[in-house]
């Protein structure tokens, strides 16, 4: 099982659009997440401190998380996860494979 959370212990139900980049030498990369109408935005009592990607290997954390507002209303969450080593990239790939399996998704 693999889940994404913005508040630890509360799974985000909206599936994000994800774009991944990687350097030519493969040593680092970035993953860009976009959650349109994220479920967490409907509960104004919760404070988002990061994005937590949780699976059986543990937890990957990004603090680079921003809310996007339209006409003063929260519309989406944008997050970036930075991978600084080949091992980080491989670990992220394993998480994303598990996330895709858990949620019935295909890679494109």
> Does residue 108 surpass a pLDDT of 60?
no
pTM: 0.91
pLDDT score recorded for residue 102? 92
User: Which of these, 17, 9, 94, 20, lies nearest to 46 by C-alpha position?
Assistant: 9
| Domain 3-102, CATH among 2.40.30.220, 3.40.50.300, 3.20.10.10, 3.20.20.60 | 2.40.30.220
Q: Do 14 and 76 contact (CB within 8 A), yes or no?
A: no
Beta partners for residue 7, in sequence order = 10
Distance CA 87, CA 13 (A): 28
pLDDT score recorded for residue 27? 83
Spans of all domains in the chain: 3-102
Q: Find the largest Cα–Cα distance for the chain.
A: 43
């Amino acid at each position: 099982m693999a889940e994404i959370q913005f508040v630890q212990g509360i799974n985000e139900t909206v599936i994000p659009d994800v774009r991944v980049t990687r350097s030519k030498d493969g040593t680092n990369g970035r993953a860009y997440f976009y959650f349109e109408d994220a479920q967490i935005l409907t509960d104004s009592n919760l404070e988002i401190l990061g994005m937590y990607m949780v699976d059986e290997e543990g937890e990957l954390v990004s603090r680079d998380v921003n809310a996007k507002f339209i006409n003063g209303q929260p519309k989406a969450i944008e997050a970036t996860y930075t991978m600084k080593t080949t091992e980080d990239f491989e670990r992220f790939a394993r998480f994303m494979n598990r996330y895709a399996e858990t949620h019935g998704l295909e890679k494109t």
